[in-house]
A and B are shown apart, each in its own frame.
Chain A
Amino acid sequence: MTTGALFLAVFLACAVEAVEATTIVLAAGTARGWRSSLLGVAAGLVVLVAIVAALGPAVSALPLSGLRLVVGGILLIFGVQWLRKAVLRASGHKALHDEEQIFRIELAAAQAAAVHAGRGVSDWYSFTLCFKGVVLEGLEVVFIVLTFGSNQHNLPLAALAAAAAVLLIAAAGMAARAPLARVPENAMKFAVGVMLTSFGLFWGAEGAHAEWPGADAALLVIVPSVAVLAVGLAWLLHRRCDRDDPQQQVDVRILREVEA
């Protein structure tokens, strides 16, 4: 795996998570003020840095075979679940991820909640909302950085890709002061699902002592094959959805309009 591919895989995966966290922070900041929201973000980042500092060296110290078995297995489960959701979304069986709608819901909830101040925080609601958003979405970022970085013996590059993605998305969100609805999030989630599944397959099999024909070059076949399988399944489910359920046809048309 080249450094470019490692950077791209981690960057895309982390950008998707950053879009979701940014939507939450923007809703809290817009509705209730920025001070407590940004304090929540900072506290969440401290927790994530502590997790990376604790787990990074421990994961790096594991023997490569055991690491690839465990990490590859978890990454494969993670990737297949991600891919499953992406295929369901692409085929119209699950609502597309809509940052504008999520933003509206979060905004309404934030505007309706009461203000509780104390212990140096002027608004615990926005602090907690942002803290949870950053930690929950950030945990996936941490997982992706640790798995990709440790497997390729290049944690710094994986961390750099994650930081670049998070900073870029956060800066775009703060500049626009609006949810990043123009980011092709559903397509990115599909691509990330394909990559997580492919690398999970590759490392999991190596960890279980299998030898890929062509060694690392096998990834050049695995990634497109997983993509073809996922696109094919989405196409089949879409056709079945159109044929079986007239109501779903209407839902799919609405989803297409939303997507357009």
Chain B
Amino acid sequence: MITRLKAFGAFWYDFLVGDDWRVAAGVVLALALTYGVSQTSVPAWWVLPAALALCLPLSLWHATRRR
């Protein structure tokens, strides 16, 4: 039973988070920051693109460095 639960959890982790948890963490942080900035007078649309421009190269660098 525990093995099946673990397999179920592992499936959803792999489905939703994927190969690099840092990407998921970065997206969640960026969404929170976007909301925070949107509550001020500063435009908030740039936060997610900036996070992508940071997270994707970092994740790729990490993936290729391990080889």
- Residues in A lying within 8 Å of B, measured CB to CB: 69, 72-74, 76-78, 80-81, 83-85, 87-88, 93, 139-140, 197, 201, 204-205, 207-213, 218, 222, 225-226, 229-230, 233, 237, 240-241
Number of A-B contacts (CB under 8 A): 102
Q: Can you list 7 pairs linking A and B with CB atoms under 8 Å apart?
A: A80-B56, A84-B19, A201-B52, A204-B27, A205-B34, A205-B47, A209-B39
Task: Report which of B52, B63, B64 forms a contact with A240, defined as CB distance below 8 A.
Answer: B64
Q: Are B20 and A208 in contact (CB under 8 A)?
A: no
CB distance from A135 to the nearest CB of B (A): 11
B residues near A210, Cβ cutoff 8 Å = 34, 37-38, 43-45, 47-48
Q: Are A197 and B52 in contact (CB under 8 A)?
A: yes
CB distance from B4 to the nearest CB of A (A): 14
A residues near B44, Cβ cutoff 8 Å = 205, 208-211
Chain B's closest residue to A221 (CB) is B49
Task: Report which of A84, A88, A205 forms a contact with B45, defined as CB distance below 8 A.
Answer: A205
B interface bracket (residues with beta carbon within 8 Å of A): 20 to 34
Q: Are A73 and B52 in contact (CB under 8 A)?
A: no
Given contacts A77-B27, A209-B35, contact A84 B56 (CB under 8 A): yes
Q: Are B64 and A237 in contact (CB under 8 A)?
A: yes
Q: How far is the CA of A225 from the CA of B67 in the complex (A)?
A: 29
- With A77-B18, A210-B37, A211-B38 known, 20 other A-B pairs at CB within 8 A are A69-B31, A73-B28, A77-B24, A77-B27, A78-B16, A80-B52, A80-B59, A85-B19, A87-B56, A88-B63, A93-B63, A93-B67, A140-B15, A201-B48, A208-B38, A210-B34, A210-B44, A213-B43, A213-B45, A233-B60
A residues near B35, Cβ cutoff 8 Å = 208-209
- The 4 A-B pairs with the shortest beta carbon distances in the complex, nearest first, are A81-B18, A210-B44, A208-B34, A209-B38
Q: Are B64 and A93 in contact (CB under 8 A)?
A: yes
Q: Are A81 and B64 in contact (CB under 8 A)?
A: no
